[in-house]
Amino acid sequence: MDILITGANRGIGRELATRLAARGDRVIATTRAAGADVGGADAGGPDVDWQTLDVSDAASHRALSVRIGARPLDLVVCNAGVYLEKGRDRPEALTPEMWQKTFATNVTGVFLTVQALLPALGRANVGKIAIIASAMGSQSRASGGSWIYRASKAAAINLGRNMAVDLAGRGIAVGIYHPGWVRTGMGGPEAPVRPGDSAVGLIERFDALSMATTGCFESYDGTPVAF
């Protein structure tokens, strides 16, 4: 398959790129800043094509689309995300800039990625979009704290559900996924799920995604997550 993954220079995105390339998929992996640490030119294997993309910048998306050219994409993984208020849950510590930057990446970034890559997805036999959201955005799991991150992931879930409806006529399936509480820079060292375990489960979910399951919201282990 031809696959594009946003925010792939670290954490879950890096694991996904490495494992998908290792099984023979052709992977385009994006990183926000040119020269960002991707672990060397051979990171992820010979079939990983590293590209620069700021998901919050429409011009950056247009430039990436031009570089991709006529290449079809079977799967686009919207993985790039930020958690700017982690450890700062007092309302007084939250700033307008944190809200703006979080939504620009976690919500608008998903939309801009899909918008720019719809032609490439349309060239595939069956195009798939995977949105890495979070159970923290579930309306039924509002346990307090992390207001900005939770609100952005709730919006990403809602966006994915509506995309699933509107893109069904184009034969494009959309899945929304909770990667688990993963031991990454974002998740922290106390998180119980290893990045590799999350990536393996997510890849199984991506493979299973079809028009029959479009609009699903599932955990990396296949457990349905309440909206």
If you write DSSP's letter for every residue of 54-88 in order, what string do you get? Answer: -TT-HHHHHHHHHHHTT---SEEEE-----TTTT-
What local confidence, expressed as pLDDT, does residue 165 receive?
Answer: 98
Distance, C-alpha 55 to centroid of its chain: 10
Q: pLDDT digits over 185-202, tens only? A: 878 888 788 889 999 999
Q: Do residues 208 and 202 touch, judged by C-beta distance below 8 A?
A: no
Of the listed ranges 145-154, 180-189, 210-219, the least confidently predicted one is 180-189
User: Is 220 considered catalytic here?
Assistant: no
DSSP 35: T
Superfamily of domain 2-219: NAD(P)-binding Rossmann-like Domain (3.40.50.720)
Q: Is the pLDDT of residue 39 over 70?
A: no
Q: pLDDT digits over 84-96, tens only? A: 998 887 899 999 9
What local confidence, expressed as pLDDT, does residue 36 receive?
Answer: 53
